[in-house]
Structure 1
Amino acid sequence: MALKHADPGQVIDLSPYGSRLSAAQSIALFKSEDLEVMRLVLMAGKAMPSHHVAGEITIQCIEGSVEVAAEDATHVLRPGHLLYLSGRAPHALLALEDASVLVTVALKRIPPAAA
């Protein structure tokens, strides 16, 4: 069964999970033609290997702390911190503590090939 995404105009609760964090799962909140928003949950010590996406991206820490390796630097994000990355920038995440982060991706539409 497909996951129900938020509808335009629908309020999404991004409050910290707190004591429920260990049972929480990553979730795609919505995806439109131009934008995708996900809430990622990473337990302490878990990593997301280096990857990239075509569009620009933001990573906002909601709770816990994560280390983000990107743009030839390593950044530690704590609650309230937001990191902006350019499109195609390789980045990797490592949870320093149990954490949840909000990831927003600007989707790049690939122009049709010239005929």
Structure 2
Amino acid sequence: MALQHAKSGEVIHLGALAPERGAAGTAALVKSDRFEAIHLVVPAGSTIPPHHVAGYLTLHCLEGRVTLGPTNIALGAGDWVYLERGDQHSVQGIEDARLLLTILFDTPPTP
């Protein structure tokens, strides 16, 4: 079954972390040819390995704490950061964390 994304005007509640949710709370909220939004759950001690994306991205830490590598940018609840397209980065969970990841594409991403 295909993942259901939010429709224009649809309200989505990004609730607080529940200990039993773990990585299962990660969900793509919207995906179009120019924009993607993901509710990202990063458990403490977990790592998203180094990677890059084709678009400009922002990460807004909603809850918990993470570190972005390789520059060791620390994000806590309420912090927001912007990365240029193609910037290599990783994410390390310091505390169980929830992030809102937004990616903006200049051109549609290649499949």
User: Does TM, scored on the shorter chain, surpass 0.5?
Assistant: yes
The answer as to whether partners of 1:38 and 1:102 remain within 8 angstroms in 2 is yes
Question: How many aligned positions are there?
Answer: 107
The answer as to whether partners of 1:21 and 1:99 remain within 8 angstroms in 2 is no
> Offset of 1:21 from its aligned partner?
4.5
The answer as to whether partners of 1:22 and 1:98 remain within 8 angstroms in 2 is no
Q: Where does structure 2 lack aligned partners over 5 or more consecutive residues?
A: none
- The ranges of structure 1 where at least 4 consecutive aligned residues each deviate by more than 2 angstroms after the TM superposition are 14-17
Counterpart of 1:113?
none
AA aligned to 1:93 is: V
The aligned runs of 1:9-28 (5 Å cut-off) are 9-17=9-17, 20-23=18-21, 24-28=24-28
Equivalent position to 2:94, from 96, 100, 104: 96
Counterparts in 2 of 1:63 and 1:21: CA distance versus 1, 3 Å: farther
| Structure having the higher Rg | 1
* Secondary structure of residue in 2 paired with 1:83: strand
Q: Where does structure 1 lack aligned partners over 5 or more consecutive residues?
A: 111-115
The answer as to whether partners of 1:22 and 1:43 remain within 8 angstroms in 2 is no
AA aligned to 2:78 is: G
Give a deviation string over 1:9-67, Cα, whole Å, max 9, x none.
111212423xx144142100011121000011111100001100111000110111000
The aligned runs of 1:71-82 (5 Å cut-off) are 73-82=71-80
User: How large is the RMSD of aligned CA atoms in angstroms?
Assistant: 1.7
* Secondary structure of residue in 2 paired with 1:3: coil
> Offset of 1:76 from its aligned partner?
0.8
The answer as to whether partners of 1:69 and 1:91 remain within 8 angstroms in 2 is yes
Counterparts in 2 of 1:22 and 1:62: CA distance versus 1, 3 Å: farther
> Given the two structures, how large is their TM-score scaled by the length of structure 2?
0.88
